[in-house]
């Protein structure tokens, strides 16, 4: 091997060993209908490694108290762990400052925080908000509620038959009334990776801030919020090996400072009298009440775990799984893959001619294969493709090629049963 | 349970060749049934001949379980009295939700007992019950029913 190829070898991360990583996940040993579980519903929620489970157990057995309150030992321990996790998350997404990382209850909560804190303060009658055809309902409905309240208008970036956003049409949507772009990084229903960095640059040329729904991106690829230059970025813990009930809103400090609090209560104030309340500084201004402390600490541990596996290796493995699945499903009679963008994350939505996706899902379940069926909380995507629903397999780094083959065998069985 | 138990040939046959497919132009009763979570959507029309179901038809978009249940329901209730149809609705709901064991307890379900297996698949119970709930709505002059909210057929069956 010459020096040049050695250097290339060093640049390319070694492939991850999914079989070995699977031993970290107790739940992957579960049997379904007597068969090994093949868990392909990771876009809905991922599974949790023992490292995170153990961290939660340690917290609950040795460290729990309310944070930012007491002078006592446990409160200080819990506060240090909670804030320590925030610092890990800051580094993980490369936020400039730790106070730009706000704990929420999940992506939906993060998006609603921006709607209430930014939208209700800065969007007025006749103003416009841009969303895309590919959004999850959680990045559509809050903006519709805002539009209804303020008399503002929703504008929609269309997509082509592959499920790729039409960027010329996007650029043409901007005008003097455009107040915000809210766009998903990765489509949960189709897997399309949107070119959000370019889309953010376009919006900024018009002086418009951008909120990115990163729920399907952060678990699967390295995210650098400063490189993207996004103004807000939202994601959930439970799709990235962490617990449910906690999520993150990243926001640029200057914007967060200008925003109204979303909820009022304890921890988000500096002082309260009946005449006047002074709000706390960011991020605490947006963290009213006792937060999901255990969840936040668990998320911090999940970040450590993902970094130990390596985001580049995770992305490469999922790319291989997707390529194998796309090729294998493409060979099955009457399978139509919905979402064929050039740049895709590990999501494979499909229909089987003459068979409703729910029947596909039920029969796959008999084989131990867990997929999601339905409209995936993205009915406008289904409408765009003229279908009521799809079956969706979504991969994570602990999935194997053999599991893709089990999916393929299951779909062939469906085909056989339905003739 | 094994899918062989639920996806039996009789269900697959009614899915492929639904009986009484279409809409009655001269219906005396109509109702629309919707399962928003999975997208099952059916339209039911029927014509009472005195106290009896003289004609009945359905159409819509749905999964195999819902379509076969609709098809077999229309075949079962045609010619029956409203009271008999309501009794069948009750028995079908009870079977699908596990409250009636069609194999050991007396009932009028006959071939409809092929749907007994859905009781082990909570996510699919609504698919099987939707046409029956829609029939109940049509007979009681309700225009639309949904599987969600206070008209949830499973909740209704529990009440």
Summarize pLDDT for A327-369 with one digit per residue, the tens.
999 999 999 999 999 999 999 999 999 999 999 999 999 999 9
pLDDT band at residue A9 under the 50/70/90 scheme: low
B3/A362 touch (CB, cutoff 8 Å), yes or no: yes
Share of chain A above pLDDT 70, in %: 97
Secondary structure letter of residue B108 according to DSSP: S
Name the residue with higher pLDDT: B150 or A12. A12
Low-confidence ranges of chain B (pLDDT < 50): 1, 150-151, 153-159
Is B128 an 8 Å CB contact of chain A?
A: no
pLDDT at residue B148 in the model: 67
Residue A4 has pLDDT above 70, yes or no: no
A417/B3 touch (CB, cutoff 8 Å), yes or no: yes
A363/B7 touch (CB, cutoff 8 Å), yes or no: yes
Kindly state the average pLDDT of the residues A163-182: 98
pLDDT at residue A7 in the model: 52
Summarize pLDDT for A284-317 with one digit per residue, the tens.
999 999 999 999 999 999 999 999 999 999 999 9
- For A418, name the nearest residue in chain B, comparing CA atoms only: B12
Shortest Cα distance, chain B CAs vs residue A35, angstroms = 12
Residue A220 has pLDDT above 70, yes or no: yes
Mutation target for A interface from B3, B14, B42: give the one with most A CBs within 10 A.
Answer: B3
pLDDT band at residue A187 under the 50/70/90 scheme: very high
For A386, left (φ over 0), alpha (ψ -120 to 50), or beta?
Answer: left
For the ranges A64-68, A106-110, A269-273, B38-42, the maximum mean pLDDT occurs at A106-110
Summarize pLDDT for A228-257 with one digit per residue, the tens.
999 999 999 999 999 999 999 999 999 999
Is A375 an 8 Å CB contact of chain B?
A: yes
pLDDT at residue B35 in the model: 87
B12/A418 touch (CB, cutoff 8 Å), yes or no: yes
Catalytic residue status for A377: yes
pLDDT at residue B159 in the model: 33
Summarize pLDDT for A66-81 with one digit per residue, the tens.
998 778 999 999 999 9
Summarize pLDDT for A79-97 with one digit per residue, the tens.
999 999 999 999 999 999 9
pLDDT at residue A11 in the model: 58
Residue A35 has pLDDT above 80, yes or no: yes
pLDDT at residue B111 in the model: 93
Kindly state the average pLDDT of the residues A366-393: 94
pLDDT at residue B154 in the model: 46
Specify whether the CB–CB gap between A215 and A377 falls below 8 A.
no
Q: What is the ipTM of this complex?
A: 0.84
A366/B65 touch (CB, cutoff 8 Å), yes or no: no
Summarize pLDDT for A113-164 with one digit per residue, the tens.
999 999 999 999 999 999 999 999 999 999 999 999 999 999 999 999 999 9
- For A33, name the nearest residue in chain B, comparing CA atoms only: B1
Shortest Cα distance, chain B CAs vs residue A166, angstroms = 28
A418 contacts in chain B (CB < 8 Å): 12, 15, 64
pLDDT band at residue A5 under the 50/70/90 scheme: low
């Amino acid at each position: 091997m010459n020096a040049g190829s050695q250097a290339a070898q060093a640049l390319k991360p070694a492939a991850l060993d999914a079989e070995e990583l699977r031993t970290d996940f107790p739940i992957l040993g579960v049997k379904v209908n007597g068969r090994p579980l093949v868990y392909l519903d990771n876009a809905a929620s991922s599974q949790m490694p023992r490292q995170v489970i153990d961290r939660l157990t340690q917290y609950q057995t040795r460290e729990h108290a309310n944070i930012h309150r007491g002078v006592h030992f446990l409160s200080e321990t819990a506060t240090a762990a909670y804030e320590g996790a925030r610092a890990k998350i800051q580094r993980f997404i490369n936020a400039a400052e730790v106070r730009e990382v706000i704990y929420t209850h999940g992506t939906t909560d993060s998006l609603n925080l921006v709607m209430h804190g930014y939208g209700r303060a800065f969007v007025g009658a006749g103003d416009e908000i841009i969303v895309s055809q590919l959004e999850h309902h959680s990045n559509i409905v809050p903006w519709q509620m805002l539009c209804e309240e303020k008399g503002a208008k929703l504008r929609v970036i269309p997509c082509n038959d592959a499920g790729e956003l039409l960027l010329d049409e996007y650029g043409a949507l901007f005008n003097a009334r455009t107040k915000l772009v809210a766009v998903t990084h990765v489509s949960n229903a189709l897997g399309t990776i949107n070119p959000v960095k370019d889309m953010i640059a376009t919006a900024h040329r018009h002086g418009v801030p951008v909120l990115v729904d990163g729920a399907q991106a952060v678990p699967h690829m390295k995210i650098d919020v400063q490189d993207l230059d996004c103004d807000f970025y939202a994601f959930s813990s439970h799709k990235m090996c962490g617990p449910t009930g906690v999520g993150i809103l990243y926001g640029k400090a200057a914007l967060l400072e200008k925003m109204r609090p979303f909820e009022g209560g304890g921890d988000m104030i500096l002082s309260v009298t009946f005449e006047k309340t002074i709000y706390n500084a960011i991020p605490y201004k947006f963290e009213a009440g006792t937060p999901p402390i255990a969840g936040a600490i668990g998320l911090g541990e999940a970040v450590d775990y993902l970094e130990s596996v390596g985001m580049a290796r995770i992305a490469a493995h999922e790319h291989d799984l997707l390529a194998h699945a796309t090729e294998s499903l493409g060979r099955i009679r009457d399978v139509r893959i919905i979402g064929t963008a050039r740049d895709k994350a590990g999501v494979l939505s499909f229909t089987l001619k003459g068979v409703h996706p729910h029947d596909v899902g039920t029969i796959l379940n008999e084989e131990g294969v867990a997929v999601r069926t339905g409209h995936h909380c993205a009915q406008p995507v289904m409408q765009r493709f003229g279908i009521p629903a799809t079956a969706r397999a979504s991969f994570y780094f602990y999935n194997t090629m053999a599991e893709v083959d089990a999916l393929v065998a299951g779909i062939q069985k469906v085909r056989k049963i339905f003739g | 349970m094994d899918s062989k138990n639920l996806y039996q040939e009789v269900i697959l046959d009614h899915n492929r060749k639904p009986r009484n497919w279409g809409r009655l132009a001269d219906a005396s009763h109509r109702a629309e049934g919707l399962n928003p979570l999975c997208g099952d959507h059916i339209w039911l029309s029927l014509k009472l001949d005195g106290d009896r179901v003289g004609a009945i038809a359905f159409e819509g978009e749905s999964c195999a379980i819902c379509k076969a249940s609709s098809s077999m329901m229309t075949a079962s209730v045609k010619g029956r009295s409203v009271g008999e149809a309501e009794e069948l609705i009750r028995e079908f709901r009870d079977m699908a939700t596990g409250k009636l064991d069609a194999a050991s307890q007396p009932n009028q379900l006959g071939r409809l007992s092929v749907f007994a297996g859905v009781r082990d698949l909570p996510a699919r119970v609504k698919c099987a019950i939707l046409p029956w709930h829609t029939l109940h709505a049509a007979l009681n002059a309700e225009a639309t029913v949904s599987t969600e909210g206070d008209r949830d057929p499973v909740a209704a069956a529990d009440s």
